[in-house]
Amino acid sequence: MRFDEWMNTEMDVYRQVAPVIMLILIGVFFWRDRAYLDEPDRDKLYHASMLLCLSQVKAFAVLIVLGLLGILVYAIGLVAGFWQL
């Protein structure tokens, strides 16, 4: 298999899997934060707004980390491809 064919198949797999992983991670963060809203002794409105802000920050951080991991995997693929030449 040539390097360009290998990179195309690898990138197809990443294109299909990455959005699913991002949605699962963001869903886990939102679901975890929602569980704290059932505590009766706190100010619900303040707590909900703080959790929403934290969830957005976490989701943005996850997107940045996944983007950096994607760049790292792409760079490793390029280095491995040039090494095979």
- State the pLDDT at residue 28: 73
62, 26 in Cβ contact below 8 A? yes
Handedness of CA 23, 28, 33, 37 (dihedral sign): positive
C-alpha dist (Å) from residue 33 to 14, 41, 45, 71, 75: 28, 16, 14, 29, 35
12-29 pLDDT, tens digit each: 677 777 777 777 777 777
Contacts of 13 (CB under 8 A, 6+ apart): none
- The model's pTM: 0.40
Q: What is the pLDDT of residues 45-81, one digit of tens each?
A: 666 666 667 777 777 888 888 888 888 888 888 888 7
